[in-house]
Amino acid sequence: MKKWQLAARLLGVGFFIGGSIVLGLFLGLWLDKKFNSDIIWVVGLILGIVAAFVGVYRMLIPLIDKDNQRRNGR
């Protein structure tokens, strides 16, 4: 994989993290307004953070596996 391709993929990971967290937060804030609550935003934020970690894990594992195969000469 070329350096610019790797950089683009990692930049995409960064945007995914930010987007997941912000989307979860906004979803929680919207649900707060809808149900006239004050705490649901925390649930949305936590769900956004969890989604970010799961997504990043799923995006980076193939890169790590390719790098390990390259280093082991496969």
CA 56 to centroid of chain Cα atoms: 5
Per the structure, the count of domains in the chain is: 1
CB 16 within 8 A of CB 56: yes
Ordered DSSP codes for 3-49? HHHHHHHHHHHHHHHHHHHHHHHHHHHHHHHHHT-SSHHHHHHHHHH
Given a contact cutoff of 8 angstroms between Cβ atoms, the answer to whether 24 and 51 are in contact is yes
Mean pLDDT is lowest, of 41-45, 57-61, 63-67, for: 63-67
- For residue 74, what pLDDT is reported? 63
Question: Which domain covers residue 37, as residue numbers?
Answer: 3-72
Q: Report the pLDDT averaged over residues 64-69.
A: 81
pLDDT tens string 5-53: 888 888 999 999 999 999 999 999 999 999 999 899 999 999 999 999 9
What is the structure's pLDDT at 69? 81
